[in-house]
């Protein structure tokens, strides 16, 4: 099963593609799409195009995203919601099932502690993927963690292909 994890953002959107076969996790690709400082509408258009192109190229079986959290400000939460929306649209247009996980659920699934800091999450992601490279950006590590979280959850109950929030 190939899962694309997304750590959404309108300026920096982390992505991580993992393969989970026979209980073995392998990172296939990861990085951060940076959208610059242009108008929100242009950043969202660029993010949508990148997500749509990536989904067409890598053909995952599912897309997993972080849910919106009441972060630093309401404005940040709104921009984050817009970024999530364009990624969800790209996944829907590709005919892919989407799954949503709360940040606390992702962190607990990866580190055993729901309030783990980003560097802790990155270290556990590297450990789970047997990746020795220190070159995993924090946003990409969060995206990989989201994909891994889905792999853990998907190996349990069967999902029916609809959007599921955990």
DSSP three-state, residue 29:
strand
Active-site annotation holds for 37: no
132 has which bridge partners?
none
> And the tokens for 77?
């939460």
Q: Which of 7, 35, 100, 142 is catalytic?
A: 7
Q: How would you classify the pairing of strands 62-66 and 2-7?
A: parallel
> And the tokens for 47?
């993010």
Q: State the DSSP string of 88-107.
A: HHHHHHTT--EEEE-HHHHH
Q: Which of 35, 66, 100, 142 is catalytic?
A: 66
Unique residue bearing structure tokens 């799954």: 99
Active-site annotation holds for 66: yes
The one-character DSSP state at 111 is H
Active-site annotation holds for 7: yes
85 has which bridge partners?
none
- Compute CA 134 distance to the chain's CA centroid, rounded to the nearest angstrom: 19
Q: Which of 35, 100, 139, 142 is catalytic?
A: 139
Which residues are known catalytic residues?
7, 66, 139
């Amino acid at each position: 099963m190939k899962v694309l994890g997304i750590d959404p953002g309108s300026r920096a959107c982390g992505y991580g593609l993992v393969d989970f076969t026979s209980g073995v996790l392998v990172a296939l690709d990861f990085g951060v799409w940076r959208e610059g400082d242009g108008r929100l509408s242009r950043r969202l258009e660029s993010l949508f195009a990148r997500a749509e192109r990536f989904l067409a190229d890598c053909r995952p079986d599912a897309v997993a995203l972080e849910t919106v959290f009441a972060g630093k400000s309401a404005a940040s939460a709104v921009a984050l919601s817009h970024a999530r929306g364009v990624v969800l649209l790209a996944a829907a247009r590709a005919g892919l099932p989407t799954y949503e996980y709360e940040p606390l659920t992702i962190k607990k699934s990866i580190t055993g502690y729901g309030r783990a800091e980003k560097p802790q999450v990155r270290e556990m992601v590297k450990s789970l993927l047997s990746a020795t490279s220190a070159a995993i950006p924090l946003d990409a590590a969060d995206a990989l963690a989201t994909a891994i979280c889905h792999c853990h959850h998907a190996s349990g109950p069967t999902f029916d292909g609809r959007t599921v929030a955990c």
